Amino acid sequence: MKNVDVLVIGGSAAGLVAAMTAKLNNPDKEVMLIRKEEKVMIPCGIPYIFGTLGNSDGNILPDGGLIQLGVEIRIDTVIDIEKEKRICRTESGTDINFDKLVLATGSLPVKPGWLKGSELSNVFTVPKSKVYLDHLMECLKNFKNIVVVGAGFIGVEISDEINKAGKNVTLVEILPHILGLAFDEGVAVDAEEQLKSRGVNVITGIGVEQIIGTDKVEKIKLANGELIEADAVILSMGYRPNAELAQNMGLQLNEKGFIKVDQYMRTTEKDIFAVGDCAEKRDFATGKISGIMLASTACAEARVAGLNLYSLSTYQSFGGTIGIYSTNIGASSYGVAGLTEQAALNEGFSIVTGEFTGIDRHPGKLDNAHKQKVKLIVSKDSKKILGGEIIGGTSAGELTNVIGFIIQGGFTLTDLLVAQIGTQPMLTASPAAYPLIKAAEAVLMKLKK
């Protein structure tokens, strides 16, 4: 039997960070990471293997950090865990005895059973498996008409990338606009127009009723009866927590199927933690259970677990998921952190919003200058920043992160209005018209009325 101090199951972003944090903070402990895959995909980079990167080999999560720290990596499949005896059994016949266990088993793509024809050949999902994705890419080489179902971030990015590769791509979304769950309408419409301008056929406000074919896909049927030719269908209809192992070992799951955890990422069983897509999340603003799955959130949870394995610290707990997203379509980028205006209203918050559109360089005649629009959602009572949305150029992703820091830090409108910033003509907007601060001014003007 193999004995380890800390066993991490799952090798994607959450597992990697949990193992590294555990070893960094407990260098005297033996840490093992066990995973199914020989090579692990960078989750957020998966859409780009279909176009920009050209293959999956350029999207590998490196093992160098684990190896340098002395974390043992084992390629195997866990089939059973006896939590009382602290024994993990694997497909290869190995028994591993552990002191602490971190479950980072991730998520699995949804393939809805109600969708007739989803079992046909050439109907694909988007898992994090390199072997599966390599097979998908090889198949796509021979196809012309590709239909993507679901216009969340993965669906939008994959559609754009496959379109770059010269395919005829149709993106179908049941909501009124693409990215409709992440952004308010104004930002979603801008992103949709950008995607259309790049040649993707976008159909919104209607769902897919059936995938038609004898043995393989031939076309899809929309809810209005319209038929669309399809050599392949890619289902990007969300993900579900991969919590079967946890359930089988007797851990408690919540009503959404996630493994129940506390603010230190501890499960209902002593010395067993869960992080990433498989673990329960609560919204930062409302405290409600959330279904958000993000690699960035997973990494934050993994650090919390790694820091609290052997000694709890009230300074190292997880306060809830803020929900920080960004994406890129052509020359335009889109970001959101925290609550959108519509989400805040749906939750019953009394809010004030403000927005400003400027340029992300100064002067605006500089090369690569791009409009930068910032929208802020602010609590009318406390003046705390609840959320923000951005349309911009390449700097939009980092500016979205800044808004995330502002929300997590509990910044008020006043804090933002007097914040000190550094600006440089080639890198940022003008200090006199910095869109983030000007959007805060717009909120202030509304409050003074």
CA–CA separation, 185 and 208 (whole Å): 22
User: Is 100 found in the same domain as 247?
Assistant: yes
Q: For 209-247, how does the pLDDT look when each residue is reduced to its tens digit (9 = 90+)?
A: 999 999 999 999 999 999 999 999 999 999 999 999 999
Residue 415 covered by a domain: yes
Query: Is the domain of 359 the same as that of 413?
Result: yes
Cα separation, 436 vs 356, in Å, equals 8
Show which of 237, 268, 287 is a domain's final residue.
237
Query: How confident is the model over 174-187, as a mean pLDDT?
Result: 97
Separation between Cα atoms, residue 178 and residue 171, nearest integer Å: 9
Tell me the CATH number at 246. Answer: 3.50.50.60
**Is 88 inside any structural domain?**
yes
If asked whether residues 283 and 358 sit together in one domain, one would say: no
Choose one of 307, 337, 360: the last residue of a domain: 307
Give the pLDDT confidence score for residue 188 in this predicted structure: 98
Q: What is the pLDDT of residue 134?
A: 97
Q: Are 313 and 305 in contact (CB under 8 A)?
A: no
In a domain, 315, yes or no: no
- Quick one: 97 and 28 in the same domain? yes
What sign does the CA torsion over 16, 17, 23, 29 have?
Answer: negative
Query: What average pLDDT does the segment 276-300 reach?
Result: 95
Domain membership flag for residue 312: no
* Interval 124-158: pLDDT, tens: 999 999 999 999 999 999 999 999 999 999 999 99
Place 439 in a pLDDT band, splitting at 50, 70 and 90. Answer: very high
Number of domains in the chain: 3
- Co-location of 6 and 92 in the same domain: yes
| Claim: this prediction has a pTM higher than 0.85 | yes
Question: Per the domain annotation, does 320 fall within a domain?
Answer: no
Report the run of H or E that residue 321 belongs to, with start and end: none
pLDDT band at 449 (very low <50, low <70, confident <90, very high): confident
pLDDT digits (tens, 9 = 90+) for 2-53: 999 999 999 999 999 999 999 999 999 999 999 999 999 999 999 999 999 9
Calculate Rg over the CA atoms of the chain: 23
Phi, psi of 312 (to 5 degrees): -75, 140
Distance CA 287, CA 319 (A): 9
For residues 294 and 184, membership in a common domain is answered with: no
Does the pLDDT at position 315 exceed 90? Answer: no
Q: Tell me the average pLDDT across 106-119.
A: 94
> Within this chain, do residues 332 and 434 fall inside the same structural domain, yes or no?
yes
Whichever domain contains 378, its CATH number is 3.30.390.30
Give CA–CA dist 304/93, Å, rounded. Answer: 32
pLDDT-derived band of residue 405, with 50, 70 and 90 as boundaries? very high
Write the burial class of residue 418 (CB in 10 Å: 0-12 exposed, 13-18 middle, 19+ buried): exposed
Same domain flag for 122 and 218: yes
Query: Which structural domain, as residue segments, surrounds residue 255?
Result: 2-108+240-307
Asked whether 376 and 439 are in contact (CB, 8 A), the reply is yes
Cα distances from 428 to residues 60, 328, 335, in angstroms, run 31, 18, 17
- Based on the fold, state whether residues 231 and 244 are members of the same structural domain: no
| 130 is a domain residue | yes
Model pLDDT, residue 88: 97
Both 250 and 233 in a single domain? no
Please report whether residue 318 resides in a domain: no
| Last residue of one domain, picked from the residues 281, 307, 333 | 307
Q: Is 282 part of a structural domain of the chain?
A: yes
Same domain, 353 and 263: no
Note whether 254 and 230 are same-domain residues.
no
